[in-house]
Amino acid sequence: MAYTEEELKKELETKEYEYGFYTDIESDTFPKGLNEDIVRAISKKKDEPEWMTEWRLDAFRIWEKMEEPEWANVHYEKPDFQAISYYSAPKAADPNKSLEDVDPDLLEMYRKLGISVDEQKKLQNVAVDIVVDSVSVATTFKKTLAEKGIIFMPISEAIQEHPELVKKYMGTVVPKTDNFYAALNSAVFTDGSFCYIPKGVKCPMELSTYFRINEGGTGQFERTLVVADESSYVSYLEGCTAPSRDENQLHAAVVELIALDDAEIKYSTVQNWFPGNAEGKGGVYNFVTKRGICEKNSKISWTQVETGSAVTWKYPSCILKGNNSVGEFYSIAVTNNFQQADTGTKMIHLGKNTKSTIISKGISAGKSQNSYRGLVQIGSRAENARNFSQCDSLLMGNDCGAHTFPYIEAKNKSAQIEHEATTSKIGEDQIFYCNQRGIDTEKAIALIVNGFSKEVLNKLPMEFAVEAQKLLEISLEGSVG
Amino acid sequence: MDLKDKLVSSFMAFENNVDVDHPVHDVRTEAMKNFEIKGFPSKKEEAWKYTSLNSLQKIDFSIFPKQDNALDYKDVKKYFIHDIDTYKIVFIDGIFSSNLSETTHDGVDICLMSSALTKPMYKQIIDVYFNKVASKYESLTTLNTAFSREGAYIYIPKNKMPKKPVEIVHFATGNEASLMLQPRNLIIVEENAELQVIERHQSLTSNEVLTNCVTEIFAAKSANIDYYKVQNDVATASLIDNTYINQKSKSFVNVHTFSFGGKLTRNNLNFYQNGEYMDSTMKGVTILGEKQHVDHHTLVHHIEPNCESHQDYKGIYGENSTGVFNGKIIVDKIAQKTNAFQQNNNILISDKATINTKPQLEIFADDVKCSHGCTIGQLDEDAMFYLQSRGIPEKEARALLMYAFANNVLESVRIPELKARINKLIAKKLGVNLGFDL
């Protein structure tokens, strides 16, 4: 087996695109490397209209001129962008199939990961748009949503069916030129979700996507676009799991949220990509650009629980453009072993009476490095802007680090900004108190960590909160020393 | 010719006037090489993100003043803390003025860098201390090192304390159309000794002045140092002040920075704690108007356990002024039981004023207490109403509240006459006369 795989790899490295696609039993993968032909091929594969192909090519040309950012407080071996295959679709996937038609093997895999599609569908009232290796394989509850006029579909379908909406909003919040990874994503994104809530509609259920990276050596480039029209409401969940891989996998997603007048978007993420093993080998590189724009009286709320990935580079942000708009950011970032996280938010206050809240909890254990990096910017016309930021770090053990890089820029005299940060450890007396009452140290730590992160956990939708709590416990397992 | 090229080519002229065989000159040459490679920092560098030196580099500064200038004490008396007796080290256009100074060798050395760098009796100390804590890579510090020749030299031996505080004053006479000064100070306070220093840079006309100053301070075991920086220069004077402090066990070092004047002021204040049970305090009051720009950049590096650091910076920004605060605390892995606190409070009183602040923590030890707080806000409307309803006019009420806001920085000033002086400066800057001193 090993022999043939190596052979194949070698062949692929030398082969050009025109010699055809790499196809084994399960998936259909492009040769490694990135050039204009690959971008065109992705677009063709997706049956995209001309304007989309041009959009991608434009992004690719911009990306070629850009350099990988180095300012983040993370150290890693830079991925070789020519050694990645930019497209891979599971063989069994067909977006038109109903849930019953899905390959039982795939369903089994979800079950192992604790994501039962059936359960989600029936019990939790969640419409799930599952993404395995870049192509949606099952879409549920589409009908119920359609009755309300809500569009929730893979973005590739949306490009076909609602080109006017995609064209109007895509790239307006995160332009192609925004940063290195956003440009890359714009050029090669293969799938993701598109969601549109019409005027005055309150989405009756939590929308949810589960992403997974399946094929070794393929990067995932998801693109999510959520548009909430005037006076609408949507709560969107995003959860991630990934199986163990030895080589580093790249994940460069772009998420754009657009909240029009009086709309509200709540976006929750649980991220649990493979963090690498205890020696720091392997793990996912998570370089994500997430940003939302708020029009008048609207609100965007980001909640994230980050426990996975070897390297995280992620700053979900809000542009508070409209008057009276509100931005919120609640985050828990847990790093263990050799994980590195540089995460935080940007709150750009442009409109009058805009408000933002930032609550960030960082927990570092093992030999990990955890950084909060945030920007609060008050524009000169943002009268009565208000911000409150709180960054708390918890250190476990003596080999890890906690860092805070808060940038605060105020250009308006009526602004009111508060920033607070603390760093502490779990008190011995707290542990002692628990031990005394028959709670072992590991459980005690889980208890204390849960208490520490409660403010953020409370913001998660119910079913996510339970999952997240478990995740925290799992990620910190064995960190007591 | 831009300023960098001019400085590089002036270095050769500079070499004609110093002893090139002295070991210090190797340090200078090395520093010059570094500056030649790095040049002036640009806004692309993280540490200079909010402060641009571009406009300064376009000015054709003279590097060496052409003539010796003299000043009468009565003309400049007001710039000294004249109501108390002090030792004085005074420079006029970068050249020592024996006329205005009062130095001493009586038990302690309060004299000149130029003699310390050239006289054999100081060689041993220079070998041990000169350029040992100042950065060898930061471009402006190395620029100063390359041209280091004159400044204040203070050496306080074990268990000694000078009889009075030391004032270091730099005057720029304006005889040059535009002048660049690069004073270099070295301050060594040995075990259990004490020192109080007041430093001031003053331009006497509206001709452009750029000062790139480096001060190295060594506080030995149980030493106690109070350092006050009074920055109230004219609107055409720019100052880049680099201070490097190396502290040993059980020492106390306090640095107070009062920034009221100048065109562009950049304070790089770096504390390195090499020992246990010590305390570093840095406090500042910044009150700006017009187009002034002040950038406070602090670094506290906790290298060993059981130490404390306290930072408290207050800022009031009016008109088109810009304020920057960038405080960095690093706690090394072995520096357990560190208590590091940082506070930065700001008030914007004009729509065109800007404040950029970045309180930064980098912590590698788990048993520590570190916190930073940062606020940007306005005067409390209720408090304003309270004062006005009791007959205090709006302007005075406003000033009173601002006084109160800045007061806890002033509380720790240990020279009463200096405190009174700072109070007057604040009142003047706020444009009121309260009829009493706080």
Instruction: Give a three-class secondary structure readout of B197-241.
Output: EEEEEEECCCCEEEEEEEEEEEECCCCEEEEEEEECCCCCEEEEE
Q: Tell me the pTM.
A: 0.78
Report, in angstroms and rounded to the nearest whole number, the Rg of chain B calculated over CA atoms. 21
Whole-Å CA distances, B360 to B137, B212, B342, B367: 21, 25, 9, 18
| pLDDT band with cut points at 50, 70 and 90 for residue B216 | very high
Chain A contact for B43 (CB, 8 A cutoff): no
Residue B155 has pLDDT above 70, yes or no: yes
| Secondary structure class of A264 (helix, strand, coil) | strand
| Secondary structure class of B87 (helix, strand, coil) | strand
Which residues make beta-bridge pairs with B167?
B88, B198
**Residue A419 to residue B361, Cβ atoms within 8 A:** no
Higher pLDDT, B166 or B378: B166
Chain B contact for A481 (CB, 8 A cutoff): no
Give the distance between the most distant pair of CA atoms in chain A: 69
Chain B contact for A405 (CB, 8 A cutoff): yes
Cβ neighbour number for residue A376 with a 10 Å cutoff = 28
Residue B233 has which token pair? Answer: 């220069």
Cα(A172)–Cα(A191) distance, integer angstroms: 18
Strands in A101-146 per DSSP E: 126-132, 135-139
The region of weakest confidence among A190-199, A212-221, A280-289, B133-142 is A212-221
pLDDT of residue A1: 38
Q: Summarize the confidence of residues A460-480 as an average pLDDT.
A: 70
The region of weakest confidence among A7-11, A157-161, B398-402, B403-407 is A7-11
pLDDT of residue A229: 93
Q: Summarize the confidence of residues B81-95 as an average pLDDT.
A: 88
Please, is A441 exposed, middle or buried when counting C-beta atoms within 10 Å of its C-beta (0-12, 13-18, 19+)? middle
Which residues make beta-bridge pairs with A211?
A131, A240
pLDDT of residue B349: 85
Residue A176 has pLDDT above 60, yes or no: yes
Question: What is the tens place of the pLDDT at every residue in B12-47?
Answer: 888 877 777 788 888 888 888 888 888 888 888 888
Q: Summarize the confidence of residues B157-172 as an average pLDDT.
A: 90
pLDDT of residue B105: 86
Cα(B156)–Cα(B219) distance, integer angstroms: 10
| Test mutation, A360, A378, A408, chain B, max B CBs within 10 A | A408
Percent of chain A with pLDDT over 90: 21
Residue A209 has pLDDT above 70, yes or no: no
* Cα-based angle B196, B201, B207 (whole degrees, multiple of 5): 175
Higher pLDDT, A156 or B308: B308
**Which range marks the domain in which residue A40 is found?**
30-475
Cα(A468)–Cα(B16) distance, integer angstroms: 71
Higher pLDDT, B124 or A127: B124
Higher pLDDT, B313 or A141: B313
Cβ within 8 Å of residue A137, ≥6 positions away:
A90, A92, A93, A94, A95, A97, A102, A103, A106, A130, A131
pLDDT of residue A7: 55
Chain B nearest CA to A250, separation (Å): 27
Is A215 contained in some domain?
Answer: yes
pLDDT of residue A107: 55
| DSSP type of residue B134 | S
Whole-Å CA distances, A157 to A31, A125, A153, A191, B169: 24, 23, 7, 9, 73
Residue A88 has which token pair? Answer: 């891979």
Alpha helices in A162-219 (DSSP H): 163-169, 180-188
Q: Summarize the confidence of residues A68-81 as an average pLDDT.
A: 81
Please, is A40 exposed, middle or buried when counting C-beta atoms within 10 Å of its C-beta (0-12, 13-18, 19+)? middle
| pLDDT band with cut points at 50, 70 and 90 for residue A230 | very high
pLDDT of residue A248: 57
Question: What is the tens place of the pLDDT at every residue in B223-266?
Answer: 999 999 998 888 888 999 999 999 999 999 999 999 988 889 99
Q: Summarize the confidence of residues B162-174 as an average pLDDT.
A: 89
pLDDT of residue B106: 85
Chain B nearest CA to A402, separation (Å): 5
Q: Summarize the confidence of residues A195-200 as an average pLDDT.
A: 91
Q: Summarize the confidence of residues A466-473 as an average pLDDT.
A: 73
**Residue A406 to residue B376, Cβ atoms within 8 A:** no
Is A23 contained in some domain?
Answer: no
**Residue B372 to residue A419, Cβ atoms within 8 A:** yes
Q: Which member of B351, B362, B368 has the closest CB to residue A413?
A: B351
Residue A282 has pLDDT above 70, yes or no: yes
pLDDT of residue A477: 65
Q: Which member of B354, B372, B378 has the closest CB to residue A421?
A: B372
A395 with B366: CB under 8 angstroms? yes
Q: Summarize the confidence of residues A284-298 as an average pLDDT.
A: 91
Cβ within 8 Å of residue B46, ≥6 positions away:
A71
Cβ within 8 Å of residue A130, ≥6 positions away:
A110, A115, A117, A136, A137, A138, A209, A210
What values do phi and psi take at B205, rounded to 5?
-130, -175
Chain B contact for A410 (CB, 8 A cutoff): yes
Question: What is the tens place of the pLDDT at every residue in B185-208?
Answer: 999 999 999 999 999 998 888 888
Cβ within 8 Å of residue A31, ≥6 positions away:
A12, A15, A16, A17, A19, A21, A22, A38, A85
B94 with B213: CB under 8 angstroms? no
pLDDT of residue A246: 45
Residue B141 has pLDDT above 80, yes or no: yes
User: How many residues comprise chain B?
Assistant: 438
Percent of chain B with pLDDT over 70: 98
**Domain boundaries defined on chain B:** 1-209, 379-438
Taking the alpha carbons at both ends of chain B, their separation in whole angstroms is 50
Cα(A330)–Cα(B307) distance, integer angstroms: 33
Chain A contact for B67 (CB, 8 A cutoff): no
Instruction: Give the closest residue to A410 by CA, choosing from B349, B157, B116.
Output: B349
pLDDT, averaged across chain A: 77
Is A1 contained in some domain?
Answer: no
Alpha helices in B119-172 (DSSP H): 123-129, 139-146
- Closest residue on chain A to B347 (Cα): A413
* Cα-based angle A244, A245, A250 (whole degrees, multiple of 5): 115
Residues of B in contact with A411 (CB under 8 A): 353-354
Cα(A188)–Cα(A205) distance, integer angstroms: 31
Distance of CA A29 to the CA centre of its chain: 23
Please, is A301 exposed, middle or buried when counting C-beta atoms within 10 Å of its C-beta (0-12, 13-18, 19+)? buried
Residue A23 has pLDDT above 80, yes or no: no
Distance of CA A180 to the CA centre of its chain: 17
pLDDT of residue A140: 53
Residue B356 has which token pair? Answer: 């950029």
| pLDDT band with cut points at 50, 70 and 90 for residue B437 | low
pLDDT of residue B434: 61
pLDDT of residue A329: 93
Residue A348 has which token pair? Answer: 């750009």
Cα(B248)–Cα(B238) distance, integer angstroms: 32
Residues of B in contact with A420 (CB under 8 A): 371-374
| pLDDT band with cut points at 50, 70 and 90 for residue A100 | low
Cβ within 8 Å of residue A326, ≥6 positions away:
A294, A298, A299, A300, A301, A320, A354, A355, A356
B258 with B228: CB under 8 angstroms? yes
pLDDT of residue A34: 82
pLDDT, averaged across chain B: 87
Q: Summarize the confidence of residues A244-260 as an average pLDDT.
A: 77
Residues of A in contact with B363 (CB under 8 A): 393, 395, 401-403, 423
* Cα-based angle A347, A353, A358 (whole degrees, multiple of 5): 30
The residues in A 349-378 lying below 8 A from B, measured between CB atoms, are 378
Cβ within 8 Å of residue B139, ≥6 positions away:
B34, B35, B38, B39, B40, B41
pLDDT of residue A461: 77
Question: What is the tens place of the pLDDT at every residue in A425-456?
Answer: 887 888 899 999 999 888 888 888 888 888 88
Total H helices, total E strands in chain A = 13, 25
| DSSP type of residue A18 | G
Residue B117 has pLDDT above 90, yes or no: no
Residue A377 has which token pair? Answer: 């910017």
A423 with B361: CB under 8 angstroms? yes
- CA dihedral defined by B365, B366, B369, B371, rounded to 10 degrees? 80
Is A21 contained in some domain?
Answer: no
pLDDT of residue B283: 92
Residue B102 has pLDDT above 80, yes or no: yes
Is A6 contained in some domain?
Answer: no
Residues of A in contact with B350 (CB under 8 A): 413
Chain A contact for B221 (CB, 8 A cutoff): no
Residue B296 has pLDDT above 90, yes or no: yes
Number of domains in chain A: 1
Whole-Å CA distances, A228 to A6, A127, A201, A257, B113: 48, 17, 9, 8, 68
Question: What is the tens place of the pLDDT at every residue in B262-289?
Answer: 889 999 999 999 989 999 999 999 998 8
